[in-house]
Structure 1
Amino acid sequence: MRNKMIAPLAAALTLALAPLAGHADEGMWKPSQMPELAAQLKARGLELDPASLSDLAGKPLNAVISLGGCTASFVSPQGLVVTNHHCAYGTIQYNSTPERDLLADGFVAASFAEELPADPNARIYVTQAITDVTDRIVEGLDGMDGKDRYDAIEARSKALVAECEQPGGLRCNVYNFNGGLEFSLIRQLEIQDVRLVYAPPAAIGKYGGDEDNFEWPRHTGDWSFLRAYVGKDGKPAPYAKDNVPFEPESWLTVSQEPLQAGDYVMVTGYPGRTNRYRLASEVQDTIEWGYPESVAYFKDYLATIERTTAGDKAAALKYASTIAGINNALKLYQGQLDGFAQMDDPVGMKRAREDALKAWLAGRGAEGRAQVAALAELERELAASEATRERDRWFPSVASGGLTGTAVTLYRNAIEQARPDAERESGYQARDAARLQGRMKSMDKRYDAEVDKALTKLRIERYLAQVPAGSRVPELDAWLGITASDKTVPDLDARLDALYAGSSLGDEAARLALLEADRAAIEASDDAALRFAVQVMPALLRLEDEAEARSGRISALRPKFMQAMIDFNASQGKPVYPDANSSLRITFGTVRGYSPRDAVQMEPFTTLAGIVEKDTGVEPFDAPKAQLDAIAAGKGARYRMASLGDVPVNFLSDVDTTGGNSGSPTLNAKGELVGLLFDGNYESLSADWIFNPDLTRSIHVDTRYMRWAMDEVDHAERLLEEMGLPHD
């Protein structure tokens, strides 16, 4: 099986290499592909051996880590970690109170003893090995379809994970690439004790706020420092006061050489998801329904939180991290819609590409005809899923998050615990127990009953307004006391009041006790939230089975389309790389600006002077007085860039990145740290679907600005010394 599926992919990459120079900035490459790109890397300016970029056990890759949604890197032999401020935002919020608001005021630990524990579910993942397991996953799948195929892939993946995780302290997962054409088992060291070391105040770390998000020019100090701790035996362990700093195999060196326009840079990280190989119908559904639906909902969601937290700082702090995430997603989706609107028929572009693919396949005999047939079947399967898209979106939303989601999780956990571990649903196996407990422990920090009640009402109203009568869920309608034709619930407020007043799940001790309860105990409970969970669980399981059957059918079709597309792209000299899927990737390019429209040129660097120019004294442009004073006094001459005559703050490059890359180290030609990737420009947001090399840029915070602020404003000299850096 491997020879039929993987060998053509490697050949396709080889075919695409020769003409790649014009496309070198497109592509989120797997480490294993880097030796094949040696000529392009050297041409761009890489001074390292390209083979070192495929060595997971060597520097720099073994210093690049995942936070489970963001990227970070080790920068000292004592487990010091640097990432984005917005990636550490949840940890900063977790440790904030109305009396000690670390989000607003910032935090600098003066010693190891003062470093603060993060959320119980905070993790640091160090990738140790990536192993191709395609043969073990796909062998014998031919002839399987639907739920049987899904279950077979799931069972084989779980078996591989269990085998991989036998030694303690590891987290393993099976990732699929190119829609299931390839599968890899990724083994990571899982560090459970993560602590907050340093975060600048929001007026630096989030300067410009949501107004500047995804915009250029930027002047944001988007960095924070964490530390990894382990048990005294050096092995990962839950938080304990006497744990010790983790000693990584290697760590990144912060460059002290000047970074200039035109210099080579590369980003290593864990990009979340791109959709560049999606079909025209999927792009159309996203433009016409998916993203507009999300944008409208996010606006109402934010308005609901704003209304219900007004005048209540404690509640506002609990939802600060949620608000930041929703605001980011809102602007991201709207930016993608705006980007699509600027294109000349993006759906038509995709459809023309598919038509060209079909024409090319027509000349490839029986194999080509089989691939065309698979594509047609895939299109039919995707079209069928649109019939229930409103139900599949809004019903689960009512049963997720906050009180109702907690009740559903506790009931599902009780159901799954009665099964052998290998047969339990992912998320409820023995390997997940600590995470479930962490969720129950940390809920109080991000939950307010009145706010959550208003958000639950919003979700129910969305369900009632958006789901057609023929797709409604009887179990939820029965709980609401309505029929499928009803669009309102006359006594909804009273029902929600009874739900929240009749539940004890707002209490941590009650939640933790219920993690140990069996199914019968939960089904016999008179807790109002648990009664809700028991009533809707049959529908949740039924829809889950439907979704898994559909996923199984698609998993038999999309790999055939992807193999055809890979071969087609390679025949035209186009880059051949998998869509992002949260696995470790490398992207490379140069420091350079762009022209978003006629007669407008965006330069690649911003400076301290720009902070002063933007400052209004009012959030989000309210630079701290200490920072403004340091700028006015001309402090930190060692950090200035000669060609600018000022300290560089942020810079642009043409590296290809997406969400999940936040916090990724930006490295120079020698593999030294010169910045942290934290954003993309607004014009590039639709590049997740359709890449445009002229407009796609990534935004980085310059380490010279980070060092300047640590030295001259926040007085984090202890950390500069730990990283081996001089200071004033």
Structure 2
Amino acid sequence: MKQWMLPLLALASSGVAQATEGMWQPHQLPALKAKMDALGFNMDANKMADLGAFPMNAVINFNGCSASFVSPQGLVVTNHHCGYGAIAYHSTPADNILNEGFLAKRLEQEKPPVPGYKIWVTESMTDVTAKVLEPAAKLTGADYFEAIERNKKRLVAACEQAPSSRCGVYNFHHGASYFLVQELEIRDVRLVYTPAMSVGKYGGDIDNWMWPRHTGDYSFFRAYVGKDGKPAEYSKDNVPYVPKRFLKVSSAGLKDNDFVMVMGYPGRTNRYRTAAEVEFAFEQNYPKSMDLRNELIDIIKANAAEGSTARLAYAGTLAGLANYAKNFQSMIEGYQSSDFIERKRAQEQALLKWIEAEDERAAQYGKVKLKLDSLVEQTQQHLDRDLILGYLYYNQMFTTAQSLYRLANEKQKPDLERKKGYQQRDWDNMRARITRMERRFDPKVDKAILLHLLERYAQLPSDERIEALDVAFLIGESFNRDKVAAQLDAMYANTALTSSANRLAWLDKTVPQFNVSDDPFIKLAVAYYDTVIAKETLDKKIDGELLKARPAYMNAIIAHKQSMGDLVYADANSSLRVSFGTVKGYFPKDGLYAAPFTTLEGLANKATGVEPFDASAAQLKQIADKNYSHYYDLNVGSVPVNFLSTVDTTGGNSGSATVNGNGELVGLLFDGVYESIIADWDYDPAKARSIHVDSRYMLWQMEKVDGATNLIEEMTVVK
């Protein structure tokens, strides 16, 4: 029996006692029918496994977030924070729609697409495990890693022969199985409506990850295609896309203990990592990453005044930095106040004891953990250096020059041998990133980020530093900040890469042209290139070994869980998943109960008139007048704003459609509670709660405050 089949066998042969935990692949849902039905699911679980049927075909991937179609005219709803970058892109100090909001009452008023913003509709998921693994089975190390990558690229290239298809090969259970995912790519995506910041980000960073919450985290976009109905680049002649399926929107809402289901694209979870990896992440990686993020936030704010063009350019960057700085902080606090590491160690001991209890198991799995531990330890040896070099990504000049030079080198190879991200299929995305940079870049801010990171880099021990960087910035036993600052002043004054047109021109240049360039950032990229390649070569060897060790360890975990009748789901990996549960409050602390709904009155009670609790006068008047319309909920005594559920979610689920047992949209997933952020690693059913914006609040705000009645009329709203 092939080991990659174990997850499905475990699911089919076991009970469903723990089914509300897990982010399930659509094809697994029929085996979960009994549990779902018991909670209030009223649809056909078999149809949920059909990606071309309702409701799965209405669920879409929106630029790294989740979203869904909600009208037959390609209207898309997602979170405000998922649309944040596009909204900021269209904002200026004179027309700051990020702060004030925006509504297109007619199609021609919708904002043109942001370069690179796309929608992907998942059309099929095909098991290709044998095609990926078997041709590489006898190889090891870097050879194994490269063979796996080649096999995946071949499958993707064949898949993308279909018109307007974007394909990818995803590994599940850390490489035990592989699925080829085919998506329809829609390239013309326009902003239709966003509430003001005082709605979409009400509570700001103060309320982020917190409950009670009163945030209207939603925005609307529209997908466009050519007149022939096929995806096309932006044109004023394009027409709204007609989706095969779309979700109806419920104005009836929910009550406590009602069934809810979330469909989306969760990013990454780490539920099956070893105890040593858990300890390293929470005691070393997260604290240091949090510090770096907070430092960069301070640097950006100090060099970009509130309300300036520079601050608007970095609005999305600041939001992302702050979001994960708080995420890491809560992760650390949750870890320190829990018995997570002790339980993880106990789980490992139970696994090892089970392996050793039988000779056949001992022969098959006996050495897998020792091998994995050794490899993982090698990846952790240079944490301080790797973090600083990783955060250099936030310096756009350095990163852009490197990407351009890498592209020139990769173009010299056959397409299938090029590094992922630099194949011909990736060139449009690279061009879009470079174009978007025009409105997301400020030389003063960029320079300050680089200076700070170089100063942090210079504090590393000499044997951890990189010769190319030391030579480029004359870093030795000490760091002369003034001297390096002056050098950076000269580099920014003499580079042509601050111009979008010049950056785009470099996309077509050759390696010899790069090698003779006098541009200071191009010269730095050329000097740094050999270092990048050398590190990648070392990483490939370890990564290749990990691609064998992790699946072996994962198969042992799966077999152990199967022996106990436990369900088995794969860690999240940005592919389409379904989670389900019920509306439910929780006890964040002893003696303190968090009710599952918040209300308009709670929103008004938080209002101070000062950001981030700066609810508008128009909104507060509607609340004071109790102008609830038919969105009033007798059980909560008002219009519900946000609600809690037990659905299992993580980053990437943002914007996910939350539906009731009939598949009607009742809200959007946008966050988790502070006590459950550690759920990326450790699921606690008592405290794992997701936060959703209630569809009734969305409709109320649209009707009573923003006048978006044209969109309400376009959608199918059911009572």
Please tell me the TM-score bracket, short chain as reference.
over 0.9
Matches within 5 A, 1:8-27: 8-16=6-14, 18=15, 20-21=16-17, 23-27=18-22
Indicate which of 22, 25, 28 corresponds to 1:30.
25
Which residue of the partner structure matches residue 388 of structure 1?
382
Determine the structure 2 residue equivalent to 1:473: 466
- 1:368 match: 362
- 1:141-152 residue pairs with structure 2 within 5 A? 141-152=136-147
> Is the 2:395–2:449 Cα contact (8 Å) retained in structure 1?
no
Given the alignment, which residue of 453, 458, 471 partners 1:464? 458
Q: 5+ unaligned residues in a row in structure 2: which ranges? A: none
* Superposed CA offset, 1:345-376 (max 9, x none): x2222122111101100123244333120210
Residue 136 of structure 1: how far off its partner (Å): 0.3
- Offset of 1:326 from its aligned partner? 0.8
Paired AA for residue 379 in structure 1:
D
SS in structure 1 of the partner of residue 475 of structure 2 = coil
- The aligned amino acid for 1:105 is E
Displacement of 1:399: 6.1
Change (3 A) 1:268 1:289: same
Aligned residue identity for 1:215? M
Structure 1 residue 213 and structure 2 residue 218: aligned? no
> Deviation of residue 143 (structure 1)?
3.1
1:377 aligns with: 371
Residue correspondence of structure 1 range 108-507 to structure 2 within 5 A: 108-310=103-305, 313-344=308-339, 346-398=340-392, 401-465=395-459, 467-483=460-476, 485-486=477-478, 491-507=483-499
Counterpart of 2:80 in 1: which secondary structure? coil
CA contact (8 A) 2:101 2:195 kept: yes
Q: Does 1:667 align with 2:667?
A: no
The residue number in structure 2 matching 1:101 is: 96
Checking the alignment, whether the CA contact within 8 Å between 1:502 and 1:529 is kept in structure 2 is no
> For the residues of structure 2 that align with 1:359 and 1:232, how far apart are their CA atoms?
64
Give the one of 517, 522, 526 matched to 2:518.
526
More deviation, 706-715/427-436: 427-436
Q: How far apart, in 2, do the equivalents of 1:446 and 1:381 lie?
A: 38
Deviates more, 1:365-374 or 1:705-714: 365-374
Find the residue that maps to 2:249 and give its secondary structure: coil
2:540 matched to which residue of 1? 548
Shift of 1:486: 4.3
- C-alpha contact 1:82 1:225 (8 A) present in aligned 2: yes
> Which residue matches 1:701?
693
Give me the whole-angstrom Cα distance separating, in 1, the residues matched to 2:524 and 2:307: 29
> Paired residue for 2:34?
39
1:49 to 37, 44, 66: 44
CA distance in 2, matches of 1:320, 1:258: 33
Distance in 1 (CA, whole Å) between partners of 2:26 and 2:269 is 18
Kindly state the Cα deviation for residue 620 of structure 1 after the two structures are TM-superposed: 0.5
C-alpha distance after superposition, 1:300-329 (max 9, x if no partner): 100001100126611111011111111111
Equivalent residue for 1:78? 73
Deviation of 1:388 (Å)? 2.2
- Report the 3-state secondary structure (helix = DSSP H, G, I; strand = E; otherwise coil) of the residue aligned with 2:81: coil
Cα–Cα, structure 1 residues 699 and 398, in superposed 2: closer, same or farther, change >3 Å?
closer
Taking structure 1 as reference, are residues 109 and 593 closer, same or farther at Cα in structure 2, changes over 3 Å only?
Answer: same
Q: Deviations over 1:51-90 (max 9, x none)?
A: 1211100010000000132100000000000000000000
Equivalent position of 1:67 in the other structure:
62
1:557 is aligned to 549
TM-score in terms of structure 1 length = 0.97
Write the distance in 1 (CA, Å) between the matches of 2:393 and 2:30.
47
In structure 1, C-alpha distance between the alignment counterparts of 2:248 and 2:625, rounded to whole Å: 29
Matching residue of 2:632: 640
Instruction: Provide the rounded CA distance (Å) in 2 between the counterparts of 1:80 and 1:674.
Output: 16
Which amino acid counterpart does residue 196 of structure 1 have in structure 2?
A: L
Alignment partner, residue 593 of structure 1? 585
Asked if 1 retains the 8 angstrom alpha-carbon contact of 2:385 and 2:457, the reply is yes
With 121-130 and 382-391 compared, the bigger mean Cα shift is at 382-391
Amino acid at match of 1:469: S
User: Which range moves more in the overlay, 256-265 or 644-653?
Assistant: 256-265
- In structure 1, how many angstroms separate the alpha carbons of the residues matched to 2:133 and 2:564? 29
Structure 2 CA distance, aligned partners of 1:536 and 1:684? Answer: 41
| Percentage of identical aligned residues | 46
Structure 1 segments, 4+ long, off by >6 Å, are none
Measure the CA separation in 2 of the matches of 1:8 and 1:252. Answer: 34
Amino acid at match of 1:532: L
Structure 1 residue 394, shift from structure 2 partner: 2.1
Q: Which residue of 2 aligns with 1:4?
A: 2
Secondary structure of 2:193's aligned partner:
strand
Contact 1:400 1:408 in 2 (8 A): no
State the 1:634 CA deviation. 1.9
Query: Could you say which residue in structure 1 is the equivalent of 2:706?
Result: 714
Q: Could you tell me the TM-score, scaled by structure 2's length?
A: 0.98
- 1:118 Cα deviation after fit: 3.1
Alpha-carbon distance between aligned partners in 2 of 1:462 and 1:683, rounded to the nearest angstrom: 32
Distance 1:141 1:679 in 2: 40
